[in-house]
Each structure stands twice: as C-alpha cells, then as structure tokens.
Structure 1
Amino acid sequence: MSTLLPCYVLLDLETTGATPTRDRITEIGLIRYENGIEVGRWNTLINPEVSVSFFIQRLTGITQDMLVNAPTFYEIHDTLLGWLDNAVLCAHNVRFDYGFLKNEFKQLGITFQKKILCTVKLSRKLYPQHKSHNLDSIIERFKLVCENRHRAMDDTEMMAAFINAATNELGVDALQEAALSLLKQQSTPTHLDYLEINTIPDTCGVYLFYGDSALLYVGKSVSLRSRVLSHFQSDHSSTKEMRIAQEIKRIEYRLTSGELGALLLESQLIKEFHPIHNRQLRRERQLCAWQVSADPNAKPLVNLVYEGDMDLTAFDNVYGTFKTKRQALDILNRIADEYGLCDKALGLEKGSDACFAYQLKICKGLCDDKESPILHRLRLLTGLSRYKLLAWPFDGRIGVRERTPDNDMTEVHVFDQWCHLGTVKNYSDLDEVSSKPRFDRDTYRYLLKFLKKKNIEIIPLQ
C-alpha cells in the first residue's frame, strides 16, 4: 500500500515505435490507486491498425497475429477514460506515454489532458546519489523480479514495486513531498533540471539546446523562459519537438537587448554551427540573384550573380535572392512566358535566329526586330519587380540602438548596405566592427522589417 497521492494511476504502454505522431499503441497496462489502496487493474492489447516491425515484435513479444483480433483504440477509449477519471497519470518517462495518449485521442476528436507525474523524476528526486533511473536500473537497484520486461502490465507492476520499496525505505512523507513538488513543476524532459530552466530570465535572447556532444537546436524569443518551456509542452504533437525532448541534455542561453539582436544572433549561430534540427536559416551555399544590365541592347540582358560577388552599391538593378541557380532559372523562365520576353535576349537560349518562344507566339518579337529593346527591358523589370532588392537608403554605415529595461542592456547593431557588420555594447568598440560587408538574405529581411517601425533608434556612423 502506498499513499503517494490521493488518487493516481500507474500506466505503461507498448507501441509500434517511438514517435507519437506516427506510431500507434499496441498494449495498455494500468493499476489504479485511491487513498493508498489498489482499487483495480486493467490490461489489454490494442489493434494498432498498422503493421508492427519485427524489431518491435522481438522486443515486446507482441506479434502481429496477437493484435489482429484485439480491440482498436476507438473501441476501448471510453473504458480507458473511466480508469483515468480524476486521477494523476503516472508513468516511467511519462511524456512518452502521455504523448501517445494525446495523439490517439486527438485522432478521435477528443482533447486529452491530465495531471502527470514521471516516476523517472521521482526516482531522481528520491535517490540523487544514483546515476541511472531507467526501469532496468530500478529493477536491479531494488532486486525486483520482472517476468516479461517490455510488456505493459509487467512494467507497470515494476513501477508499483519501486514505489512500495521507496516508501518502506524512505517513508510515506518523503514520497508525498517529492510527488507534490514534481506536480507543481511544469512538464519538462526527465533528464533536465526544472529549477535550472526556471532560472532562465523571461526576456529577449537566444537559447541553445545541446545533446550529448552536438548542438541540437537554436531559437530566439522576447520571452526566453516561456519559449523554452513551450518546447516541452507541445512535443507530443510534433515529431521534431519529440526528438528534441528525447535528445536534449543541456540548455544554454544568451541575452540580447531586443528582438532585432535576438534575430541576428540566432541567424549567426545557426549558419556558423548548423544545429541538427534547424533548417530554415542555414546558409544557402548557392544564394544568387539576377542583375539586369542598364543597356537594353546587352546580350544577355540579365546575369546571374552570386552572394559573394554582388555589388552592394548597385542594388537598383539586382533582383532576388534565390536559394539555387535552378530556382533562379525557373523563375526567369516563368517571367519570360508571362511577360512575352525573348529567351535569347535573356540568355536562356542560344542561336542567331528568332527564339523558339517567338515561333510559339509567346515572345513579342525582340529577336525578330518586332519590338523595341527599351520596351522589352521595361517588361522584364516589371516581371522581376516582386523580387527587387531595395537600394541602401542611407549615406553610409548606421547603428540601430536597442535598449531593454528587463535586463538593463544596450546594444548597437552596425549595418552597411543591408549587411550586419557587428554588434557592440559600447561606442568605444565601434572601431573593431568589420568593414567588409557580406550580404545575407535573412539580415536584409530583418532590417527591412525593423526600419518600418516608428520607435526604432538609428545612429548615423562615420
């Protein structure tokens, strides 16, 4: 008998895999306790309505044939809700089981929410001197006997045996105090310290998630602590968030003086370190743009220029940027067809005769002297206008000053020709800022957005 909580259910699931958004439940085993007394237990196989890999069959001993005539989750969901009614859901690594249950109920149009308690965290809190707290380690530590490891009811019984052993060893009060303390904490991965996360300030900055040896993810927020915790509150509904929650071992953060500083630092760190789960802001190796000649008779009229070769003082005639040469060509071909442009004048087709598009009556005839080069160039500029890079609107370098009372920080972000040259906290450090601008599409977008704000503080620099 254990009075861990007034009413709780110990539960274990077996599944077809480790991803709640893709895999399904194959078995449920649970034991319900009220006022310290076991009032019932329930165990059932579940037909997952998908195939089960041979690896999972060998691991659990649950074969495909055993599941054919088992009930589906839909057929047992009302019974399960009855067992869990008004109870705290307890499981070993509860985020795993809770994520699967939430997704199974979600497919039925039901929002499933329960108070949860992780027995891994309970073990860690009660026995901090021990390094490992997985179920195998607990079985070995307390000399427990499990006949069918990785079967739902057997694993649930091991959790019950652990709680009883800990109660006998440490006393009821110690378990109740530990359980209530854990319930007050927000749900975080078992291998992270909640108190450590709770010390993260809720202000602007960038956070970094690390695995055992690699940087997993970099993110930014104007409310760091809230954003970090949100990753662990929604991981059941996202494969990426679930993987991050499973792999994360350590969190670091860096404060900034405002949102622009956080955006710039996030972009810089992602492009420098290539975190495993970041995709959007990684540096595009073939970033390029179309540069239109000022001469309407030029052949070709447009040239593809790459990021490192862009003339940052001549953005009046630059359009882009594009991730790859293929993307740039696809867009130019589409504009040529839409605006009746000549493929030969654009360099999309070679030869001295009229272009093939003219024979198809798409080109308006520049290649057959039926159209003015000036008019043709104007239509090209019209077609490309949606991709236009704006000319730098200042005479030279500028500083954008950000200040926040939340962390008493001031930073000046230095820019020239849309390029971020560096960030300084003191004016005396301005001389150390790079004088070699490098165009970056994300920086261009961030600064363009912030220049439209009314309260932005711009400082002209020599």
Structure 2
Amino acid sequence: MYAIIDIETTGSQPTQDRITEIAIFIHDGKEIVDKYSTLINPQRPIPYYISQLTGITDDMVQDAPKFYEVAKEIVQFTEGMVFVAHNVRFDYSFIKKEFADLGFTFQRKTLCTVRLSRSLIPGLPSYSLGKLCKSIDIPLQMRHRAIGDAEATAKLFDKLIKINRPVIDGTHHVADPAEQLKNEIKASLLPPAISKEQVDALPTVPGVYYFYNEAGEVIYVGKSINIKKRIIQHFNIDYKSRKSIEFKNQIADITYELMGNELVALLFESAEIKRMKPHYNRQQRRSVFNTGIFAYEDENGYKRLTFGSINKADDVNMTPIIALSNQFKAKGFLFHKVSKYNLCQKLCDLYKTPGACFDYQVHICKGACIGVETPEEYNARVDAAIESFTYEHNSFVIVGKGRELGEKSIVVVEHGTYLGFGFVDEYFSANSLEDFKSEIQRYNDNKDIQQIIRGHMRGKNKDKVLVFD
C-alpha cells in the first residue's frame, strides 16, 4: 500500500517553516482507494509571496486545525504504507520535523516519483511535476495546492506502475513491477539520475569525489576517508531547504580519485575546489591570496608583525609567514592575534601614532610601544602568536599511507611554504629535500592549505615527519 503525499508550507526550510496544507491519496497497487486532505494552521504568518504562489492565506488557515490536532490521523492514514511523493525528501523532511517537534519519531519507507519517472519514462526535457504531467497528459488542477498536486502525483504513480507490467515480447522479459518498486524504494534517497549499482560500486577508501550535473559540469567536490560512506551520507540526510534538494536532484554522475590518506585528500580537495570553483562548494573557493603577514625585528629589538602585498614584499626580499586573501582579512587576522596574545597594536601596524598606542592608555598594552616592556618579555608573546599559525619545522616532508600496497604519499614543505604532494614506492630512498621535491606534483600554498597541514600535524596520526632544517 502506498500513501501519495503532498504538502504546502510557509517556506522551504523544514527547520524554520511549517506546514499549511497536507493531502494524502492511498493507492493499493492497483488504484486509488482513499484520500485525506486538510488545511493546517501553521501558527505563524504566511509570507506574501507564498500566498501568491499557493493561494493559501492567513485568513484561510486561521480556524484550521494545528498540526498536533491532525497528527494522529496522519499517523493512522500512513501506518504500514510506503511514503510516496514527487521529490519525496522535501515532503518527508517537513513531516518528520513536525512530528519530531511533538516528540514523536515518524518513520516510513519512501518512494520518489521523480526517480521512478526518470527510470520508466527516460528522455523527457523536465521531470518537474507540472511539466511531467503535461508531457504525459495528466490533468493538473489546483497547482501548488496540496490536494491538486497530490492527486496529480497519485495519477502519475498509477500510470508509472502500469507502464511496468511484466511483458514478454519474444525478445526480452520486462522486470516484475513489484521487484521494480522494491528496488526504487531502496534507492529512493538517491538522486534521480544515480543508480543503486553506481553507489554500490564506490570504493571504501580515502579520496576525493566529484558530483556532476547532466551537462557534465562539476557542481561539488568533496573528500572522505571512506568515499562510499560519505556519499551515502550526502544522500541519506533530511534536507533542510529546497535548495539542498535541488542540489541533490542535479547530481547526474559521480567520479573519484583515490588519495591514500586523509591529509592528501584534504590537500587535493582544497586545490580542486579553488581550480574548479564548483557551484555548491562555498568553503575554500577563494584562489587568490595576495596579502601576507610578515615578521621582522626593529632597531630597538622588538619583534614586529605587519601586513602588506605579497608581490610588493618580493621586491624587498621579505617572505610572508602566512598568506591571506586581502588586506581586510589580514588586519582582522592581526587584531585577533593582538587580542589573544596581548600584543601591541602599534607594533603590529594597526595603530599609527608617534607615542603610546591606545591599548596602553587603557592599561591593556604593557608598553612595548614606548619601551616600558622589555623586548625579551614582549617577543616571547610574539613568538607564541607566530607559532599558532606557522609550522613547528621550517622544511619537512610528511610521509603517509599510499593509494595501494607498496606505495607511500609524500607532502613537502620548504621554508614554511607548501610545495605539493606525490606518491612514491615504499622503498624510495632520498638523501635530501631535493630528492623529495622531484617526486611531487606542485600546488599553490595558501592559508587554507596551511591550516590543513597544521591541523594534521597537531592531531593523532602515524605519519612520519622528516625534518630538513
């Protein structure tokens, strides 16, 4: 038995918005046998643009039952049923959240008619409910009302399962419809264009994976120590917005690159995101880091921090100890270090004055700016601040697990700058840093990479670190 469900809501985010209408059509595998629908008082105003779309207004739901008043009916109506919907994860996530707020766990097997339609009616230009119904001559009345959309989805479902009757035409035997539906229920959480067989074939080792849309464009890059497990997690979560469902539905293909261990996977993922700038990757997309934090000692023996253009610094033979995207980020970075390590704003080029800095006047700075605090005392805190965003060693190689037996990974840092990574035979012998440098693929250094390497070295791992200071 199947419960074909559609809902209308105050918005697209289950964590914030509420249901305003629900409709359920019961299908016994042969025909529609029952139905249920009701408006629901969401106990909050319905945004104007939502009312424009659905036609449901605050006045219409004012006297409607609240969700907790119809919750028992919904449970009873769907008990033992397969939860069917067009883009099922959206409707299912909303209903699960409504029940969770009542302290009840709502759990049903799910079936997505988008996936089923793609499988049984391939090649259509669109699988949105409106365009799909138009393509296959299903009447769709009261669009964007739960009762209208649920009825159309029920008729679509009825047509789909009748497309898939067992037939022998002399050359082949079409699959049993019950088996087909069982397979689709198992795969209902997958993107419509991704098959269960494709996911089953994914490796369970560290690497970087790519999601593509139907045009062959990479829309997301991710990494994991277990590629298959992480990708399944992507698909199994309850989606929190319509945008996240759109992301899932766009995934048409998956590829991957084996990396051998988490560190190399993190480094390669960061580089690929900066190179490709996939639409759904929001973190680490910035690829230009042209501002540096620099350190030097002044004529009075005080260690000073400053910031400026990395290109300009090349002209005066200064090497940045960290690269950031712009001067605004660099100033914010230094302000944070000044606050955390009680440094002097003036000696970090954040307060321009011939005398004492402002913090000294309010008894925060200890007076390095006017020689009250000794260089030795002040420089110890500068060293601690620098240590918080630099490596313990100047030049080193991290040797980790490779992609297969008999292989090792190597990550090379020279003079505090990340050079890249590569893979070598486990019996590879090197006498100098130059030997390792000849075996790597070069990649750009930046703040994101430095954070990845520092975090890895401070964590618990069994990687070998070869120091060339």
TM-score (normalizing by structure 2)? 0.79
Letter in 2 for 1:203: V
> CA separation in 1, counterparts of 2:349 and 2:132?
70
1:266 Cα deviation after fit: 0.5
Q: Which residue of 1 aligns with 2:463?
A: 456
> CA separation in 1, counterparts of 2:179 and 2:340?
69
Q: Which residue of 2 aligns with 1:412?
A: 409
> CA separation in 1, counterparts of 2:157 and 2:210?
35
Contact 1:27–1:152, Cα closer than 8 Å, also in 2? yes
> CA separation in 1, counterparts of 2:152 and 2:370?
85
Contact 1:204–1:221, Cα closer than 8 Å, also in 2? yes
1:111 Cα deviation after fit: 2.5
Contact 2:292–2:322, Cα closer than 8 Å, also in 1? yes
Contact 1:287–1:322, Cα closer than 8 Å, also in 2? yes
1:76 Cα deviation after fit: 1.4
> CA separation in 1, counterparts of 2:113 and 2:441?
53
Q: Which residue of 1 aligns with 2:449?
A: 443
Letter in 2 for 1:260: L
Q: Which residue of 2 aligns with 1:3?
A: none
> Of 48, 54, 68, which residue of structure 2 is paired with 1:60?
54
Provide closer, same or farther for how the CA distance between residues 26 and 347 of structure 1 changes in structure 2, counting only shifts above 3 A.
Answer: closer
SS state at 1:122 partner: helix
> CA separation in 2, counterparts of 1:434 and 1:118?
44
> CA separation in 1, counterparts of 2:291 and 2:450?
14
Provide closer, same or farther for how the CA distance between residues 145 and 284 of structure 1 changes in structure 2, counting only shifts above 3 A.
Answer: closer
Letter in 2 for 1:444: Q
Q: Which residue of 2 aligns with 1:143?
A: 137
Provide closer, same or farther for how the CA distance between residues 8 and 379 of structure 1 changes in structure 2, counting only shifts above 3 A.
Answer: closer
Identical positions, percent: 30
Provide closer, same or farther for how the CA distance between residues 446 and 410 of structure 1 changes in structure 2, counting only shifts above 3 A.
Answer: farther
1:245 Cα deviation after fit: 1.5
> CA separation in 2, counterparts of 1:401 and 1:13?
51
Coordinate RMSD, CA, aligned: 3.9
Superposed, 1:346-385 pairs within 5 Å as: 346-366=348-368, 370-381=372-383, 384=385
Contact 1:319–1:385, Cα closer than 8 Å, also in 2? no
Matched, 1:50 2:55: no
Provide closer, same or farther for how the CA distance between residues 127 and 409 of structure 1 changes in structure 2, counting only shifts above 3 A.
Answer: farther
Structure 1 segments unaligned to the other structure (5+ residues): 1-6
Letter in 1 for 2:264: G
Provide closer, same or farther for how the CA distance between residues 368 and 209 of structure 1 changes in structure 2, counting only shifts above 3 A.
Answer: closer
1:52 Cα deviation after fit: 3.1
1:380 Cα deviation after fit: 4.2
Q: Which residue of 2 aligns with 1:4?
A: none
Contact 1:24–1:104, Cα closer than 8 Å, also in 2? yes
Provide closer, same or farther for how the CA distance between residues 352 and 443 of structure 1 changes in structure 2, counting only shifts above 3 A.
Answer: closer
> CA separation in 1, counterparts of 2:391 and 2:160?
67
Contact 1:103–1:237, Cα closer than 8 Å, also in 2? no
Q: Comparing 237-246 with 81-90, which one deviates more in the overlay?
A: 237-246
Letter in 2 for 1:185: A
Contact 2:293–2:330, Cα closer than 8 Å, also in 1? no
Contact 2:334–2:348, Cα closer than 8 Å, also in 1? no
Superposed, 1:200-219 pairs within 5 Å as: 200-211=202-213, 215-219=218-222
> Of 82, 85, 90, which residue of structure 2 is paired with 1:91?
85
Q: Which residue of 2 aligns with 1:262?
A: 265
> CA separation in 1, counterparts of 2:183 and 2:98?
29
SS state at 2:307 partner: strand
Superposed, 1:16-55 pairs within 5 Å as: 16-34=10-28, 36=30, 38-55=32-49
Matched, 1:229 2:232: yes
Aligned length in residues? 444
Contact 1:21–1:236, Cα closer than 8 Å, also in 2? no
1:419 Cα deviation after fit: 0.7
Matched, 1:105 2:99: yes
> CA separation in 2, counterparts of 1:142 and 1:276?
32
Contact 1:411–1:425, Cα closer than 8 Å, also in 2? yes
Q: Comparing 416-425 with 75-84, which one deviates more in the overlay?
A: 416-425
TM-score (normalizing by structure 1)? 0.80
Superposed, 1:44-443 pairs within 5 Å as: 44-128=38-122, 130=124, 132-166=126-160, 170-171=164-165, 174-185=176-187, 187-211=189-213, 215-237=218-240, 241-283=244-286, 285=288, 290-295=293-298, 297=300, 301-304=304-307, 318=321, 324-334=329-339, 338=342, 341=344, 343-366=345-368, 370-381=372-383, 384=385, 387-392=388-393, 394=395, 398=397, 400-405=399-404, 410=407, 412-417=409-414, 418-424=417-423, 431=438, 433=440, 439-443=445-449
> CA separation in 1, counterparts of 2:268 and 2:253?
19
> CA separation in 1, counterparts of 2:139 and 2:248?
30
Provide closer, same or farther for how the CA distance between residues 106 and 359 of structure 1 changes in structure 2, counting only shifts above 3 A.
Answer: same
> CA separation in 1, counterparts of 2:436 and 2:339?
48
> CA separation in 2, counterparts of 1:284 and 1:199?
33
Matched, 1:11 2:1: no
1:98 Cα deviation after fit: 0.9
